[in-house]
Each structure stands twice: as structure tokens, then as C-alpha cells.
């Protein structure tokens, strides 16, 4: 199986290992990944926007499709446990993200009141007030933190521009609201360089950053699908459990998704 793009604005529901029956939202192009990171493990493949025309869905189109989908699922076994913003890149890039969250809250309250609204983000847009305001309205604000050192951050997440790990941590600290940290642990060779965020140094420094951010809880997981970098190793359950234990011993709730 190769990496893939979501070809719809609203997809699923799908069974999520973290979120239950999840209705997916893709606010990004359906024919191209659009992201501020170029993560070596991303199921959507590499970020390549040079020379590409980026077309984003309109707010009105999204609202109409979401309402129609929730109405169709209402009262069925597929009524969602979660409405999840993820898709082909970074969802908070969308210029109408804040208004779209308002529309989603309204539609959820009317047609799927048990569903939790979740956003999977890389924290790169947390300097924007409108993004912060919107994320404070969702149930699960899930932010990525994959490394303990800037060197490993650059190797794993490959941010576009000059973004550093310290800047990401500063953005997380500036949020002043509930957030969840998600971390994917991997090791392997990428472009001739060794990538491994499971070493003692990386885990120790990552844990210090986690304690500094003080999230609601931490999600830990390994790769589960094909990745654009082909020589990555899936971390064992025992290793993940050992890392999770250290987080719990620091007084922070942790979930491991194998």
C-alpha cells in the first residue's frame, strides 16, 4: 500500500484507533498535500507545493456538506463519535478555519451531539489569534510534538521555512488553553541520515518539553500505514509502554495506540 491523499472534503466515517467512529474533514486540496511540515512518516506523502495551484474548499460548501452528512448519519450505527479535522496536511492553514469551526460546533450540536470535535495540528499556526480562538472551542485540540532536540525535529518533521523546535514549544506555551500532545515514535534512515526519537537523550529531552507544556494528556503511537520514507521501523509495544510509563510517572495522563 502506498501513501495516499483524501479525495473528499468530508470522508468516512472511519474507525480510528484514537477517536472511535470518526467523520474526517479535509479542508485542504484533494489532489495535493498542503502543509507547513514535510514529515518523513506522513501517510499523505511528501509536501510538494512548488508550482502547484492550491485550491481550498469554500466555507459555504463545507457547511452544506457537513450538515447533509450529519443528517444522513443521525440515528444510525455510524453516527460519529468524533468529527476530526486532519486531511491532506495542516488544517489550520485554511483562511476560514475559525469560522468553519463555528459552523462545525453549530452542526454538531444539532445533528450529532455526542460527537467530539477534534483537530490534528502541528502547532505551526498557533501564533495566529484566530486559530487559537477556534481551537479553544473544540473538544480535542491535538498538537504534534515529535522530538526532544531541534536536530531530530528537523530530521523528522522537516518544517518549511526556518521554524525551530523552540518556536514550536513557545507556540504551545502561548496557547493558554487545553491541549493534547501527540507523538509518533520512529527510527530508521532518511536521506542517508539516522532518525530515531526513541533514544535516551531524545526521550528525556522530549519529556522535559512535555512537562513544560503540561498538556491535558499525551497520545503515543507508532507508524501504522505506509510512509514516504521507506526505511522506517515500527516501534514495539514494549518500547512505547516504557516511554508512556515515564510520562505517567511525571504525573501526566498518557494513552498508547499500537
Query: Residue 11 contacts by C-beta under 8 Å, 6 or more apart in sequence?
Result: 23, 24, 26
- For residue 168, give the nearest of 221, 206, 130, 217 by alpha carbon: 206
User: Please, are residues 88 and 44 in contact by the beta-carbon 8 Å criterion?
Assistant: yes
Spatial separation of the C-alpha atoms in residues 117 and 108, rounded to whole Å = 8
Identify whether the C-beta of residue 159 lies closer than 8 Å to the C-beta of residue 37: yes
Which grid cell is 100? 468553519
pLDDT in tens, the chain (258 residues): 467 888 899 999 988 877 889 999 999 999 889 999 999 999 999 998 777 788 999 999 999 999 999 999 999 999 999 999 999 999 999 999 999 999 999 999 999 999 999 999 999 999 999 999 999 999 999 999 999 999 999 999 999 989 999 999 999 999 989 999 999 999 999 999 999 999 999 999 999 999 999 999 999 999 988 999 999 999 999 999 999 999 999 999 999 999
Boundaries of every domain in the chain = 10-256
Please give the model's pTM, rounded to 2 decimal places: 0.94
CATH for 10-256 is 3.20.20.70
Amino acid at each position: 500500500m502506498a501513501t495516499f491523499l483524501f479525495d473528499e472534503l468530508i470522508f468516512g466515517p472511519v474507525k480510528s484507533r484514537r477517536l472511535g467512529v470518526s467523520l474526517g474533514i479535509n479542508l485542504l486540496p484533494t489532489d495535493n498535500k498542503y502543509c507547513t511540515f514535510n514529515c518523513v512518516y506522513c501517510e499523505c506523502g511528501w509536501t510538494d507545493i512548488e508550482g502547484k495551484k492550491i485550491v481550498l474548499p469554500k466555507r459555504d460548501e463545507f457547511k452544506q456538506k457537513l450538515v447533509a452528512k450529519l443528517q444522513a448519519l443521525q440515528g444510525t450505527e455510524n453516527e460519529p463519535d468524533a468529527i476530526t479535522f486532519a486531511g491532506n496536511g495542516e488544517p489550520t492553514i485554511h483562511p476560514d478555519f475559525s469560522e468553519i469551526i463555528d459552523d462545525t460546533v453549530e452542526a454538531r450540536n444539532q445533528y450529532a451531539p455526542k460527537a467530539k470535535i477534534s483537530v490534528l495540528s502541528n502547532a505551526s499556526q498557533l501564533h495566529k489569534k484566530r486559530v487559537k480562538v477556534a481551537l479553544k472551542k473544540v473538544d480535542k485540540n491535538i498538537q504534534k510534538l515529535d522530538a526532544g532536540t531541534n536536530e531530530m525535529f528537523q530530521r523528522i518533521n522537516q518544517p518549511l521555512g526556518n521554524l525551530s523546535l523552540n518556536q514550536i514549544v513557545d507556540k504551545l506555551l502561548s496557547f493558554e488553553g487545553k491541549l493534547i500532545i501527540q507523538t509518533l515514535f520512529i527510527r530508521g534512515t532518511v536521506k542517508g541520515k539516522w532518525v530515531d526519537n526513541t533514544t535516551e537523550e531524545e526521550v528525556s529531552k522530549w519529556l522535559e518539553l512535555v512537562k513544560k507544556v503540561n498538556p491535558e494528556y499525551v497520545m503515543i503511537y507508532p507508524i501504522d500505514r505506509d510512509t514516504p520514507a521507506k526505511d522506517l521501523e515500527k516501534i514495539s509495544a514494549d518500547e512505547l509502554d516504557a516511554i508512556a510509563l515515564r510520562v505517567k510517572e511525571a504525573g501526566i495522563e498518557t494513552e498508547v495506540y499500537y
